[in-house]
């Protein structure tokens, strides 16, 4: 029996919460994963998982074995990485990032990563819905605007911190006038972002030490900030978007910043990855290139 392989399978079973999810991550059949678990339990002489029709229940012995397996596998990965220290990253790296952040911040930096690491291959998935780095078979998940998960199985590293700005095109401001304070936004045509839980129609702006929450509305609601930027450029309304997304437009006069004395709370984009990958050359090469210091 390959104990390391069986340990890795058991770790995936615990972290994904089911045999079928673990099979998907490991790209093996469900019967093969089930056989590995049975073989491992027979070898250890202990029941690690109680199987029910609804869910898996990890036994007390199983929880203890999981903690030891996770530590051992992390040590093995660290040892492997130490041997490869200073070498180019190799292999396939799967990254999930939001569409707008991925296009504006990641895509321009990927050519330099690939030139520096000829053996590295990147699958970049641009998607705005939430994904799980454990069950989704993803090496790095990049998301912004939330607290990183409190989990020993996952690592979170900040990539960049930014603010949002209120902007509009010169044509829109000429036709509708410029709002003088946050409350005036309620009387304007605003471009609302659609989030996973519905429209993000409450804009929170900070003026001095006071936060103002304004309910906004408009004829167009869009899920991706990139599309909101395009709509703002077309004069369809006022947008509340990341500063990095519209920096060039503001510099070249295609958009104007309004409510210049207002800002947003700082927003952090995080890279989330499994704990055992924290010393992986693939992970380090990618994060080192995209992190804004």
Asked if 60 and 116 sit in the same domain, the reply is no
**Alpha-carbon span 43 to 51, nearest angstrom:** 18
Asked if 25 and 155 sit in the same domain, the reply is no
Determine the pLDDT at residue 277. 80
Determine the pLDDT at residue 86. 53
Token code pair at residue 88: 């180019």
Residue 185 is part of a domain; what is its CATH number?
3.40.190.290
Token code pair at residue 226: 């990139």
Exposed / middle / buried, residue 27 (Cβ in 10 Å: 0-12, 13-18, 19+)? exposed
**Alpha-carbon span 217 to 192, nearest angstrom:** 7
Asked if 155 and 272 sit in the same domain, the reply is yes
Asked if 175 and 154 sit in the same domain, the reply is no
Asked if 49 and 76 sit in the same domain, the reply is yes
**Alpha-carbon span 80 to 84, nearest angstrom:** 7
Residue 273 is part of a domain; what is its CATH number?
3.40.190.10
- CA separation, residue 94 to residues 136, 207, 209, 210, 282 (Å): 10, 40, 41, 41, 10
**Alpha-carbon span 14 to 16, nearest angstrom:** 6
Token code pair at residue 133: 């780095």
- CA separation, residue 280 to residues 76, 140, 156, 199, 292 (Å): 11, 12, 14, 38, 20
Whose structure tokens read 């704990």?
275
Residue ending a domain, choose from 83, 113, 139: 83
Asked if 62 and 119 sit in the same domain, the reply is no
pTM: 0.69
What domain count does the chain have?
Answer: 3
Judged by DSSP in three states, 132 sits in coil
Residue ending a domain, choose from 83, 118, 144: 83
Q: Compute the C-alpha angle 268/229/209, nearest 5°.
A: 45
Beta bridge partners of 162: 267
Asked if 177 and 56 sit in the same domain, the reply is no
Domain that holds residue 173: 164-265
Residue 32 is part of a domain; what is its CATH number?
1.10.10.10
Mean pLDDT in consecutive groups of 10 residues from the start of the chain, 293 residues = 84 83 82 90 89 78 86 74 62 90 92 88 88 76 82 82 95 95 94 87 91 93 93 97 94 96 92 82 88 79
Query: What is the chain's length?
Result: 293
Asked if 133 and 275 sit in the same domain, the reply is yes
Asked if 203 and 65 sit in the same domain, the reply is no
Q: Are the C-beta atoms of residues 172 and 236 closer than 8 Å to each other?
A: yes
Asked if 116 and 252 sit in the same domain, the reply is no
Asked if 107 and 245 sit in the same domain, the reply is no
Determine the pLDDT at residue 117. 86
Asked if 23 and 115 sit in the same domain, the reply is no
Q: Are the C-beta atoms of residues 142 and 159 closer than 8 Å to each other?
A: yes
Judged by DSSP in three states, 137 sits in coil
């Amino acid at each position: 029996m390959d104990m390391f392989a069986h340990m890795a399978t058991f770790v995936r079973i615990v972290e994904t919460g089911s045999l079928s999810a673990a099979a998907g991550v490991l790209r093996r059949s469900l019967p093969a994963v089930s056989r590995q678990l049975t073989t491992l339990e027979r070898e250890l002489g202990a029941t690690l998982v109680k199987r029910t029709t609804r869910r898996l229940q990890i036994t007390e012995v199983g929880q203890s074995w999981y903690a030891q397996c996770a530590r051992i596998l992390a040590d093995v990965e660290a040892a492997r990485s130490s041997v490869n220290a200073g070498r180019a990253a190799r292999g396939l790296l799967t990254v999930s990032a939001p569409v707008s952040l991925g296009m504006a911040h990641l895509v321009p930096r990927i050519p330099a990563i690939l030139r520096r690491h000829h053996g590295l291959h990147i699958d970049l998935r641009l998607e705005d819905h939430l994904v799980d780095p454990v069950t989704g078979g993803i090496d790095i998940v990049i998301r912004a605007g939330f607290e990183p998960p409190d989990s020993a199985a996952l690592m979170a590293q900040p990539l960049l911190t930014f603010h949002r700005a209120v902007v509009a095109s010169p044509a829109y401001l000429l036709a509708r006038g410029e709002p003088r304070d946050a409350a005036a936004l309620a009387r304007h045509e605003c471009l609302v972002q659609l989030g996973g839980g519905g429209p993000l129609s409450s804009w929170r702006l900070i003026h001095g030490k006071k936060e103002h929450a304004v309910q906004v509305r408009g004829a167009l609601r869009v899920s991706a900030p990139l599309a909101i930027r395009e709509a703002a450029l077309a004069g369809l309304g006022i947008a509340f978007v990341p500063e990095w997304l519209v920096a060039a437009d503001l510099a070249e006069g295609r958009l104007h910043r309004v409510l210049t004395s207002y800002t947003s709370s700082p927003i952090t984009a995080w890279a989330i990855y499994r704990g055992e990958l924290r010393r992986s050359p693939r992970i380090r090469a990618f994060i080192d290139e995209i992190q804004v210091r």
